[in-house]
Structure 1
Amino acid sequence: MSGIDLNEKAGAAPTATGLDDAKAASPAFSPNTNEEVTPEGDTSGVVNIDGADMLNRVHSYARRFICYPSETASVVHVLWMAHAHLMDAWFSTPRLAVLSAEPGSGKSRVLEITALLVPNPAFSVNSSAAYILRKVADQDNRPTILLDEIDTVFGPQGKGDEGLRGMINAGYRKGAKSGRCYTEKGKVLTEELPTYSAIALGGLGTLPSTITGRSVIMRMRRRGQAEKVEPFTPRLHEPLANTLRDELVAWTASVFSLAEAFQPVLPDGISDRNAEVWGPLLTVAELAGGEWPAVARRAATEAVQSAKANNKPSLGVRLLAHIRACFGDKDRLTTADLLEKLLADEEAPWGDLGRKKLDARILADMLDEYDIHPTNMRISKGPTLRGYKREAFQDAWERLLPPFETGATRATGATDQESLDKTEASNAADETALLPCSGSAGGVA
């Protein structure tokens, strides 16, 4: 996998510590024999599978039929499929979002290959929230939900489905339940249905921010003329997928107790929600061993940086950034002066907010969400006017905006928007060098 340089800092960081501790803490692991044992202590039935070699073969198989946009995306996909076999070991499960700007970019093929390698796949298009909820509620036969054409629900032309969005969000964590009412013999009764399940979604455009914040994202694109993949023929290619899936089942069963106890050390910059998203995937890589821990850490760093670079700030954050640029080095601005500066930028949205332009009332309402309020003030020796003091914005600026570049005091939104766009790094994953779209490259490294 030459597309990812294992010697770079992010990939060469020390691998997660604690694997030996996890083995010692696991009641199903014998420190004396270095083998996993059954509850009765019999080691004769232990399946010995090289996890790294197995993931290499899964990776090579998927690459035969999928033209990944980057090596990071291929690593994410393999780790996500493996993590779906260890659902009871996790506290949270990342959603896999397979998105593209244009149709014909390979999203459905990703989900088709995924369905062959994950446990109990439920592949559907335009399914209702009630259907998905009932499928997931059977936790003894917990499905892996694969939803294609999700843009028909959450895209610009979709009507949305708050029930489905809520279930996808809630089922991100183990133990979450959704309350429902039903009628029996004329009585209205209540029930709580489990929602915990691995979910992959494919579609055009973007997803609601509450879903993307819980997702690892693969941004697919159409193949170039020089990029080739094999045509997928189920009759010919499913038998090998079945063999690989059976190996995944056996391997994940052999490391399940370790997965429960193991806590990976995360790369710098991956914390909070990102730590929850990437924790299971990095754990799979550590348990597999070989080159996978280093490759996974690099993929995690690139994917998180890419997501941050692609995240569009909310309208409120854009307003705060533009106001900071308007203030420059001033300590106060009247409402009239602030509005004049904001509306002077023709590329900013303030001149057309739902067919209304920004005025004093709308400005006050938007800033009220951040506990920022206008006050009476006097500029120089003039009359008392309504306006805003710099100190009122300071807390919101520090929490929500990147540091302001030294000397950048131009009264336009462009300067602060440039700073805002540089949240952590550029879209590193999209710039990763592409390899031929085939499975001929042996292994991961």
Structure 2
Amino acid sequence: MLRIISSAAASDEPGSYPVSLFPDELDRTYSAHSAGSQDDLTIILNAGYKRGAAVVRAHKDKQTEVIRYDCFAPVAFAGLATARLPDALVTRTFVVHTKRATRDERPASFLPVAHDRDLLAVRESLSRWAAEVAERISEPADMLAILLDERITAITDGRDHEIWSCLFTVATLAGGVWPVRCIEAVTLMQEESADHVSGSPSARLLAAIRRHYMSRPASRWNIGISKDDIVSAALEMDALTFERFNGRDEVRPDDIGALLREHGLKSIRIRAAHGRAYGYRWADLEDAWSRVLPPPVEDTDDEDEEPPRPGSVFAR
């Protein structure tokens, strides 16, 4: 991959750099059993999301010499939902979730003989457009005016701004409805990721328990939840993390205690949904949620609001 990118960077042919890469079957490359074995690839993908990034390697024959490989390249990778992408890579990625098409939704077949000419026309049209609008941001001040536009800076910061501002720049140059659609996409992404925690399995478990807690009718809650019910909630709310936990079949009740101890939670005998069992009080879990997780996105639709739960930090 480094040689492909560097070869394109060294080419004099217009439009050859940056080269776009389309690796497939990421679920096999990043599987539950490949932890740590793809570090070289991860370094390239992590660093190569912006211009100027490079990976340094020692010369295989002359160990005192180093080779600087340009690694900037747009990458669109595909894989099943079982792919275990590193958290650092996810923060640099736009994730598009897809579903298997039904028989009635099958797209028409792509035939190079029939469609290559149309695709070539699209490519040439986009290239002409890009060359024309590039003049509008040729000066740093013109580029900064877009990057620091209040519409995008008001809802993003840090790496989120760095990632989304590149799309916002293209949308602004395209004009029309595109800036609005880009802002809507950013907002939707933030709402969908409010309960997603990129980090340790223990934090992901807390997020899964909270989603489970907020999805159930208020009248059915007891004072806590048992370890067995937490296992069920984890598998339902975050199957990607807990179905093959640590390379095994699935998370177990014993794992629950070890994970939640990281946040100072200890299991006690409580009255849960199915009687008395070892588990955790909601009050203790709420304290951990407030310390570890980002605030949940509130449902502002008054018609669908549930009655408030007394004593709950999520009471509306």
Letter in 2 for 1:149: E
User: Cα–Cα, structure 1 residues 297 and 409, in superposed 2: closer, same or farther, change >3 Å?
Assistant: same
CA contact (8 A) 1:133 1:193 kept: yes
Q: Percent identity among equivalent residues?
A: 24
Q: Do residues 202 (structure 1) and 78 (structure 2) align?
A: yes
Q: How does 1:192-231 map to 2 (within 5 A)?
A: 192-205=68-81, 206=83, 207-231=85-109
User: Cα–Cα, structure 1 residues 239 and 157, in superposed 2: closer, same or farther, change >3 Å?
Assistant: farther
Distance 1:407 1:308 in 2: 21
Q: Do residues 150 (structure 1) and 35 (structure 2) align?
A: no
CA contact (8 A) 1:181 1:190 kept: yes
Unaligned 5+ segments in structure 2 are: 11-16, 211-222, 233-241, 247-251, 267-282, 299-307
Task: Give the one of 25, 31, 41 matched to 1:164.
Answer: 41
Name the residue aligned to 1:133.
Answer: 2
Letter in 1 for 2:43: G
Deviates more, 1:341-350 or 1:193-202: 341-350
Q: Do residues 179 (structure 1) and 51 (structure 2) align?
A: no
User: Cα–Cα, structure 1 residues 402 and 299, in superposed 2: closer, same or farther, change >3 Å?
Assistant: closer
Distance 2:184 2:170 in 1: 14
Distance 1:306 1:359 in 2: 25
Distance 1:272 1:404 in 2: 20
Q: Do residues 357 (structure 1) and 270 (structure 2) align?
A: no
Cα drift, residue 360 of structure 1: 8.5
CA contact (8 A) 1:317 1:401 kept: no
Name the residue aligned to 2:118.
Answer: 240
Name the residue aligned to 1:402.
Answer: 295
Cα drift, residue 144 of structure 1: 0.8
Considering Cα pairs closer than 8 Å and 6+ residues apart, tell me whether 1 or 2 has the greater RCO.
1
Letter in 2 for 1:144: S
Deviates more, 1:298-307 or 1:146-155: 298-307
- 1:124-172, Cα deviation, whole Å (9 max, x unpaired): xxxxxxxx11222342443111111111101346564111112101112
User: Cα–Cα, structure 1 residues 162 and 250, in superposed 2: closer, same or farther, change >3 Å?
Assistant: same
Task: Give the one of 128, 132, 146 matched to 1:254.
Answer: 132
Cα drift, residue 356 of structure 1: 8.2
Letter in 1 for 2:254: K
Letter in 2 for 1:150: L
Name the residue aligned to 2:165.
Answer: 279
Distance 1:404 1:239 in 2: 46
Distance 1:274 1:235 in 2: 41
Letter in 2 for 1:134: R
Aligned residue pairs: how many? 243
User: Cα–Cα, structure 1 residues 349 and 223, in superposed 2: closer, same or farther, change >3 Å?
Assistant: closer
Secondary structure at the residue paired with 2:50?
coil
User: Cα–Cα, structure 1 residues 152 and 227, in superposed 2: closer, same or farther, change >3 Å?
Assistant: same
Task: Give the one of 229, 244, 251 matched to 1:347.
Answer: 229
Letter in 1 for 2:99: R
- 1:56-76, Cα deviation, whole Å (9 max, x unpaired): xxxxxxxxxxxxxxxxxxxxx
Distance 1:316 1:307 in 2: 17
CA contact (8 A) 1:320 1:397 kept: no
Letter in 2 for 1:348: I
CA contact (8 A) 2:202 2:260 kept: no
TM-score, length of structure 1 as denominator length: 0.45
Distance 2:207 2:86 in 1: 23
Distance 1:277 1:342 in 2: 40
Distance 1:246 1:322 in 2: 47
Cα drift, residue 198 of structure 1: 0.7
* Aligned residues: CA RMSD: 4.1
Distance 1:168 1:318 in 2: 24
User: Cα–Cα, structure 1 residues 408 and 170, in superposed 2: closer, same or farther, change >3 Å?
Assistant: farther
Distance 2:231 2:106 in 1: 42
User: Cα–Cα, structure 1 residues 315 and 195, in superposed 2: closer, same or farther, change >3 Å?
Assistant: same
Q: Higher Cα Rg: structure 1 or 2?
A: 1
Cα drift, residue 281 of structure 1: 1.2
